[in-house]
Structure formats: structure tokens, C-alpha cells
């Protein structure tokens, strides 16, 4: 197998791109580094394509290793032929290689192996050859053996048929064809397993073509079966499959024909059908998991890349009922200033006392904005906060707002070792409010402290392979962190550990170095950090920023390997480093155009993609790509679900995107669903193609179901 050719075809890239990318990966470069700093070598492949490339490369290499292993195992048995080698080489998947190896795999004692022990294999060969013209019954009598418990000719023939049935089952070509027929023409059927109400009632009498069932339904059915509410099976076109096998196996109409037909039926029902059904359901589950992980990954990346609310004093409000609402005030840098607990909700309903306490904090610390968690008691807290905000404005003229933020994972963070280290003297219950405040100031920096699986922006996340989910989500966090860049002198250990080339141990060493020696003055100083060598430096340096450092380039995504080229560039175009620092390169595009891109790349010895990246960075040192995105909705008043009427047009924030639609927060605590059929006037293959987590959208209310607490929305306004 030519892996380079295969990857270029599968991913629609050139062979030279595939070859160079493999070499870069094998040299130990990370995906973010390759995507950002090796664009000439890869032909500008982005991080998503590179991760897909890496995944397929790993699979194809595992496939090659599997082929070599199977050839070795068959060869050790002295049964490897040119025909088998050819079949193995032609196999496209690991499943196909397993099918080829099946007849050679050491078996447990089966009905066929027991029949062979009784000496019935020659009789089986005689029957399946369909060339014996003598009396088959008399021939079977030759195999009677009282000691081996072959007492009648029927015993002998049945044993021979067991051998034939297993041979049919072990035939790789038959299994591939039956798998294809079952997938294309089979039906997945779900029935209720017990007379109880459950979330799976729509599947109590359900059937759908295997080849058409959508991923989220597979995961729902699997969960219903696992929780014993559903019985699930695949109904295959049995008659068509049996006819296919008969045409392939039966050569003539003779005395052995009915015996062979019996062996075919037995082989299919007892051996082939159960394993093919298992394989297809596993395949469907794998595809569904892949889709669920993809959706979760897209949502997580968009959540992490939500724009920060900078330079604001924030009051974090973690709502609750009986135990009280936890409050934390943080300054513009996220440093904790104050904490308290108030009880404006049931059962205490201490609204006046809570207002006094919060006003005191707002005035004392000049709070700009309130970050409200969206969990239990959030709706009641919104009502309370909208009244508080009105009173503050009436009393002082000060305008403050509140923003609803996702509090998913806040409790996980609160009880973590990291939270205890960051705020050692603060009660666990109050740390959630601190996290909620900081999430508004910098979602990325705060959310990286939490296991990505706990952030909760997926669908059926607990029903998928947790190992695969973790690997994918860690990749997403890594891409998000590196696309934004990290302030080397303020970043937490958690944030640093996601930077290209930096692991948890090196991140810890960076923080310790910073604590012992003060701020980093330049990127090269990183080489003084324990265990951070030249290779790690190459991978991480471009993603780490130093504001007000020794070199203005350190506050950009320009890699140190390109500093010389960047300096030549600004000199040729008539600028200085001070001009970069003072943000005076607004006309650099025009000067570059007049000079000529191709001419300047040959003079400073870099490629066009790197040149354009350098120019983009020099135009705005310290830029944050998130600043260009839409800011969250600042609210000062609250709606109730009862206030909603069909036809109302509202502004909302997309909180989650699933295969079937998008959930939008319109400020009534209960998110509304925009079904994918209501997302756009054009055909919507997947909602993620049109909306993303954190996006602010205009929606129209279609229907409000107060009893079931459901809101149907439309973006077709």
C-alpha cells in the first residue's frame, strides 16, 4: 500500500503535501506548529485537516502492521500462499484483514472441531466437492465409531455439515458480501423491553433502514438498550443472503444438495448472522461516536474562542436555592477582591438583605458587570439581578449589566487540586463563583482548567468512547490555545500545558522559573527553564507572547526563526522596530504591493505564506484573534417563559449545537430549540455549517409549551 498516494486521494491533497506532512510528523513536530509555521511545506493545510491526516496516517500504519502480522501468523502455520498474500495486500480495512485470517485463527472447541476430532473432515470434503456419484448414505456409514460417539450415519453427516458450516462462515469473500447486503438492505428494529414510561418511548416500536439511520438515533437506541428499556436487532434480507450463498456454493443438483443447503442455513443463522449483526452495530456506533465527537469538538472550539470581556471588574454570581448564592468579585486581571453569600432565592427569600450586600460590593469595587451562572436558580436570580441593576442606576446613575455564562464544570474545578492551589484560603463552595467571574473575562484561560468532557457542549457525550473523546477534545483545546497565543508572564500552568511542545512537567517548570526569577524578558530565556530544550523551544516559542519585553517581535506570533527575515522586511519597506511597537505599520500592505511580494520573499529568503503571516502580525502586535468576534449579550432585564408569544423576535446566544438543531439562550432560563429545518431558507445538512456556540442570533418564537418547558424557535425571520 502506498500510504502517501492513499492519503492524498482521501484528503484531496497533492502527494508532495502528504509526503512533507508525514516527514514533519515523524520528526516530532506538533500539529499546531506544523499548521502555523510550516505552511510552505504542507501547502497551507489547516489544523483540522492536519488532525484528520494524522488520524488516517495512524490507521493506515496500523493496517499495514496488521497485514504483516497476519502474513507472519499464517506463514508460521505453513499455509501462506500467493493467493492469500494478494488478498491481504488488497484489503482496505482491518476488518477485511481479520476476515482473511479467520480460518487460520486458533479456535476454541466448536461443533466443527469436535467433528474433525471424530474423523469426519474427509466426509465433509466429499459432500462439499459435489463430485461423489456413489451412495452418500453408505459412504457415511464408513465413519461410524462407537468410541467417538458416531453411532449412526445421521451423526456422521450432521458432523460433516458442522465442518462445512464453519468453513462457509470463515470465507472472507462471503462475509464481506453478506456484510454489504445487510448494511444496504437491512433494517434496525427497536421494541420496548418493558411497560414503563421512559425518554425512549419514540423507539418503543421503531424501525429504520440501517444505511439511513442518523448518528444521534444510534446513540439514543444504544443507551435505551443499555438501560434495558429497548430490545434492538437488525433484520437482514435472509432469503437474498441464502440465495447468494447457494449460488456461490452449489455446483449441481445432486444427492448432497439438500445437505449443503442445510449447512448454508445453519452457517448463516448460527455463525454468520450474529457476528455480522455485531460488526454492523459496532460500525454504526463507531460512526455515531465519530459524529458526536466531531460535534462536541466544533462546539468546544467555538466556546473556547468566545471573545474575552477585557478590563472589567466582574462580580461572579453562582446561583442556588437553599445553600445561598455564592458571590465573588475579581479585578480586571482576574485577581480575587471579595466574596460573600446572599440568599435572595427560596426558601430564605432575603431579597432586601441580598441587595444591600451586593450594592456594597458593587460600590466598593466599582463593579462593571455581573457574570451569572446558568444552573439551578438561574432564572430566579436573573429576576433579582434585573431589579438590583435598576436600583443601582436610579441611586447612582451607574450602568451595569449581567451576562449569563455556562457554569458547566464549575463544581469540578471548585473541588480540584488546581483550584485549591489558586485560592487556598477560599471555601470550595465559593470557588465556583470565582470561576464564573473569570470565565467572562477570558473563557479560554479559565476553561482549560477543567476536563474538556465536563464542559458539556456535546450530544450523547457519555455514550461514546471516553478515550477517543478525551484525545479529540484535548486536540481541540490545544488548537484553540495555540491559535490565540499565551502570555508567557501571566499564563497559568494549565494554560501553558496546552501550548505546542510543552507538557505538564515543563509548564510547571516555567511557572517555577517565573516565580523564582521574575518575568521573562525575551523568548530565548525559555531555554533556561529545566527540561525545555531546543526542540521544545522550536515548537512553543511562536505561541508564547511577552508584552513590553526586550524585542517587540516577542509580542507577536512571528517565530524566532523568522526574526531576521522580519527585521529585513521592515527595513526594506522603510520602517523601524519602534514603528512596530507604536503600531505605525497601517500602510504596510500598500508598500509591500509596490515593492513586490515575490521580489521581497527572494531577498529575505521566506515563502509567501510566511511573509503574509509576518505582515499580519506586525500590523497589530499583541493582537487577540478573539477580539474580532461578536461579544456576548449584555442584559439588564429579564423575560419569563410566560412572557413569550409566538411571533416575538428576540436576540439570543447559541449555547449548544447538535445534529438535529441548535439550542439558543433567549434570556428565559430555558434554552429554545431551533430545529435544523428552521435554521435557514436553504437546505441544512448540519446545523454546525450555519451556527456556532457563542454566536449571537436573531430568532422568532414559534411555539411555547409551558407544561413541558419547551420553546420552539426559528431563524427564518
Tens of pLDDT, residues 485-525: 999 998 999 999 999 999 999 999 999 999 999 999 999 99
CA distance 652 to 668: 10
Pick from 134-148, 246-260, 614-628 the range whose average pLDDT is largest: 246-260
Q: Which helix (H) or strand (E) holds 273?
A: helix 273-304
Residue 12 makes CB contacts below 8 A (sequence gap 6+) with none
CATH 1.10.150.310 describes domain 485-545: yes
Identify the architecture of domain 3-104 in CATH: Orthogonal Bundle (1.10)
Taking only the tens place, the pLDDT of each residue in 240-292 is 999 999 999 999 999 999 999 999 999 999 999 999 999 999 999 999 999 98
Residue 107 contacts residue 98 (beta carbons within 8 Å): no
Indicate the pLDDT class of residue 548, thresholds 50, 70 and 90.
confident
Nearest Cα residue to 305 out of 117, 146, 448: 448
CATH 1.10.3500.10 describes domain 171-306: yes
Full 3-state SS string of 455-473: CCCCCCHHHCCHHHHHHHH
Indicate the pLDDT class of residue 371, thresholds 50, 70 and 90.
very high
Indicate the pLDDT class of residue 1, thresholds 50, 70 and 90.
confident
Would you state the cell numbers that stand for residue 167, as one nine-digit string? 468453513
Phi-psi region of 409 (alpha: psi -120 to 50; beta: other; left: phi over 0): left
User: Is residue 408 scored above 90 in pLDDT?
Assistant: no
| Residue burial 173-211, b: 16+ Cβ < 10 Å; e: rest | ebbbebbebbbeebbbbbebbeeeeeebeebbebebebe
Residues in a beta bridge with 231:
191
Query: How is residue 212 annotated by DSSP?
Result: T
pLDDT at 632: 74
CA distance 598 to 612: 11
Pick from 61-65, 379-383, 616-620 the range whose average pLDDT is largest: 61-65
Nearest Cα residue to 283 out of 153, 418, 182, 169: 182
Helix 257-266 and helix 238-249, axial crossing angle in degrees, nearest 10: 130
CA distance 43 to 613: 14
Indicate the pLDDT class of residue 34, thresholds 50, 70 and 90.
very high
**Weakest mean pLDDT among 241-255, 365-379, 444-458, 549-563:** 444-458
pLDDT at 637: 67
- Count Cα neighbours of 503 within 13 Å in the Cβ-side half-sphere: 7
CA distance 222 to 203: 11
Alpha helices in 130-272 (DSSP H): 136-141, 153-169, 172-185, 215-226, 238-249, 257-266
Give the domain ranges of the chain.
Answer: 3-104, 171-306, 314-441, 485-545, 557-620, 641-714
Residue entry with cell 511573509: 611
Taking only the tens place, the pLDDT of each residue in 472-481 is 889 999 999 9
| Gyration radius (Cα) of the chain, Å | 33
Query: How is residue 271 annotated by DSSP?
Result: I
User: Which burial class, exposed, middle or buried, applies to 572 when counting CB atoms under 10 A from its CB (0-12, 13-18, 19+)?
Assistant: middle
CA distance 233 to 497: 45
- CA distances to 50, 60, 66, 454, 456 from 300, rounded to whole Å, are 18, 28, 34, 11, 9
For domain 641-714, give the CATH number.
2.40.50.140
CA distance 688 to 219: 19
Residue 383 contacts residue 344 (beta carbons within 8 Å): no
pLDDT at 625: 78
Indicate the pLDDT class of residue 467, thresholds 50, 70 and 90.
confident
The sheet with strand 401-405 has its strands ordered as: 336-342, 325-330, 314-318, 369-373, 401-405
Residue 181 contacts residue 241 (beta carbons within 8 Å): yes
pLDDT at 223: 93
pLDDT at 636: 66
Residue 627 contacts residue 633 (beta carbons within 8 Å): no
User: Is residue 418 scored above 90 in pLDDT?
Assistant: no
Q: Which helix (H) or strand (E) holds 272?
A: none
Nearest Cα residue to 334 out of 507, 491, 480, 477: 491
Checking 207-212 for CB contacts under 8 A at 24+ apart, the result is 207/235, 209/185, 210/182, 210/183, 210/184, 210/186, 210/234, 210/280, 210/284, 211/183, 211/184, 211/186
Taking only the tens place, the pLDDT of each residue in 187-227 is 999 999 999 889 899 999 999 999 999 998 999 999 999 99
Q: What is the pTM of this model?
A: 0.81
Would you state the cell numbers that stand for residue 169, as one nine-digit string? 462462515
Nearest Cα residue to 155 out of 165, 145, 147, 164: 145
Residues in a beta bridge with 540:
none
pLDDT at 374: 83
User: Is residue 234 scored above 80 in pLDDT?
Assistant: yes
CA distance 28 to 137: 68
Residues comprising the chain, all counted:
717
User: Is residue 629 scored above 80 in pLDDT?
Assistant: no
Assigned fold of 314-441 = Nucleotidyltransferase; domain 5 (3.30.420)
Would you state the cell numbers that stand for residue 166, as one nine-digit string? 464453519
CA distance 8 to 18: 6
User: Which burial class, exposed, middle or buried, applies to 81 when counting CB atoms under 10 A from its CB (0-12, 13-18, 19+)?
Assistant: exposed
Amino acid at each position: 500500500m502506498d500510504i502517501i498516494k492513499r492519503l492524498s486521494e482521501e484528503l484531496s491533497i497533492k502527494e508532495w503535501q502528504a509526503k512533507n506532512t508525514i516527514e514533519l510528523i515523524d520528526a516530532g513536530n506538533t500539529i499546531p506548529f506544523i499548521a502555523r509555521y510550516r505552511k510552505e511545506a504542507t501547502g497551507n493545510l489547516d489544523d483540522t485537516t492536519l488532525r484528520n491526516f494524522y488520524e488516517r496516517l495512524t490507521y493506515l500504519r496500523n493496517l499495514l502492521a496488521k497485514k504483516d502480522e497476519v502474513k507472519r501468523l499464517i506463514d508460521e502455520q505453513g499455509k501462506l500462499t500467493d493467493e492469500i498474500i494478494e488478498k491481504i495486500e488488497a484489503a482496505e480495512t482491518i476488518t477485511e484483514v481479520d476476515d482473511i485470517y479467520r480460518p487460520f485463527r486458533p479456535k476454541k472447541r466448536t461443533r466443527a472441531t469436535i467433528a474433525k476430532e471424530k474423523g469426519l473432515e474427509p466426509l465433509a470434503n466429499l459432500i462439499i466437492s459435489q463430485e461423489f456419484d456413489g451412495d452418500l448414505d453408505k459412504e457415511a456409514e464408513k465413519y461410524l465409531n462407537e468410541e467417538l460417539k458416531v453411532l449412526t450415519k445421521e451423526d456422521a453427516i450432521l458432523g460433516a455439515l458442522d465442518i462445512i458450516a464453519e468453513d462457509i462462515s470463515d470465507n472472507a469473500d462471503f462475509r464481506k458480501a453478506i456484510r454489504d447486503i445487510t448494511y444496504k438492505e437491512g433494517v434496525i428494529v427497536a421494541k420496548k423491553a418493558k411497560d414503563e414510561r421512559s425518554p425512549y418511548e419514540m423507539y418503543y416500536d421503531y424501525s429504520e433502514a440501517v444505511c439511513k439511520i442518523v448518528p444521534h438515533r444510534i446513540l439514543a437506541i444504544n443507551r435505551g438498550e443499555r438501560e434495558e428499556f429497548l430490545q434492538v436487532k437488525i433484520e437482514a434480507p435472509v432469503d437474498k443472503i441464502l440465495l447468494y450463498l447457494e449460488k456461490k456454493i452449489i455446483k449441481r443438483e445432486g444427492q448432497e444438495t439438500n445437505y449443503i443447503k442445510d449447512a448454508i442455513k445453519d452457517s448463516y443463522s448460527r455463525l454468520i448472522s450474529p457476528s455480522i449483526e455485531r460488526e454492523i452495530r459496532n460500525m454504526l456506533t463507531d460512526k455515531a461516536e465519530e459524529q458526536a465527537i466531531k460535534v462536541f469538538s466544533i462546539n468546544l472550539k467555538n466556546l473556547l474562542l468566545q471573545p474575552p470581556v477585557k478590563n472589567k471588574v466582574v462580580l461572579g454570581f453562582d446561583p442556588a436555592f437553599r445553600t445561598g448564592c455564592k458571590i465573588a468579585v475579581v479585578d480586571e486581571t482576574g485577581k480575587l477582591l471579595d466574596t460573600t453569600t446572599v440568599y435572595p432565592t427560596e426558601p430564605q427569600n432575603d431579597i432586601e438583605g441580598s441587595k444591600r450586600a451586593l450594592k456594597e460590593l458593587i460600590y466598593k469595587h466599582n463593579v462593571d458587570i455581573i457574570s451569572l451562572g446558568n444552573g439551578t436558580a438561574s432564572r430566579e436570580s436573573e429576576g433579582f439581578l434585573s431589579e438590583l441593576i435598576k436600583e443601582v442606576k436610579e441611586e447612582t446613575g451607574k450602568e451595569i449589566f449581567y451576562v449569563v455564562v455556562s457554569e458547566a464544570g464549575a463544581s469540578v474545578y471548585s473541588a480540584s487540586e488546581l483550584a485549591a492551589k489558586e485560592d487556598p484560603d477560599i471555601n470550595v463552595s465559593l470557588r465556583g463563583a470565582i470561576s464564573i467571574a473569570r470565565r467572562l473575562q477570558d473563557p479560554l484561560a479559565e476553561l482549560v482548567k477543567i476536563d474538556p468532557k465536563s464542559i458539556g457542549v456535546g450530544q450523547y457525550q457519555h455514550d461514546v468512547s471516553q478515550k477517543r473523546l478525551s484525545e479529540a477534545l484535548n486536540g481541540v483545546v490545544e488548537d484553540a490555545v495555540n491559535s490565540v497565543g499565551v502570555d508567557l508572564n501571566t499564563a497559568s500552568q494549565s494554560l501553558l500545558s496546552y501550548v505546542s511542545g510543552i507538557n505538564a512537567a515543563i509548564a510547571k517548570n516555567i511557572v517555577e522559573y517565573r516565580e523564582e526569577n521574575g518575568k521573562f524578558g525575551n523568548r530565548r530565556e525559555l531555554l533556561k527553564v529545566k527540561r525545555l530544550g531546543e526542540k521544545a523551544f522550536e515548537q512553543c516559542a511562536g505561541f508564547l507572547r511577552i508584552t513590553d519585553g526586550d524585542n517587540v517581535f516577542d509580542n507577536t506570533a512571528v517565530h524566532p526563526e523568522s526574526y531576521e527575515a522580519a527585521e529585513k522586511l521592515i527595513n526594506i519597506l522603510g520602517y523601524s522596530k519602534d514603528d512596530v511597537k507604536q503600531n505605525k505599520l497601517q500602510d504596510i500592505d500598500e508598500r509591500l504591493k509596490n515593492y513586490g511580494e515575490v521580489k521581497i520573499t527572494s531577498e529575505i529568503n521566506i515563502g509567501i505564506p510566511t511573509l503574509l503571516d509576518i505582515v499580519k502580525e506586525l500590523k497589530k502586535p499583541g493582537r487577540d484573534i478573539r477580539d474580532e468576534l461578536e461579544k456576548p449579550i449584555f442584559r439588564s432585564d429579564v423575560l419569563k417563559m410566560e412572557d413569550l408569544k409566538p411571533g416575538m423576535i428576540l436576540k439570543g446566544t447559541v449555547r449548544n449545537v447538535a445534529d438535529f438543531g441548535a439550542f439558543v439562550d433567549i434570556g428565559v432560563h430555558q434554552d429554545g430549540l431551533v430545529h435544523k429545518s428552521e435554521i435557514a431558507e436553504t437546505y441544512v445538512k448540519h446545523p454546525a455549517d450555519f451556527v456556532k456556540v457563542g454566536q449571537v442570533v436573531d430568532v422568532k418564537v414559534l411555539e411555547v409549551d409551558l407544561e413541558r418547558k419547551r420553546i420552539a424557535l426559528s431563524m427564518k425571520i
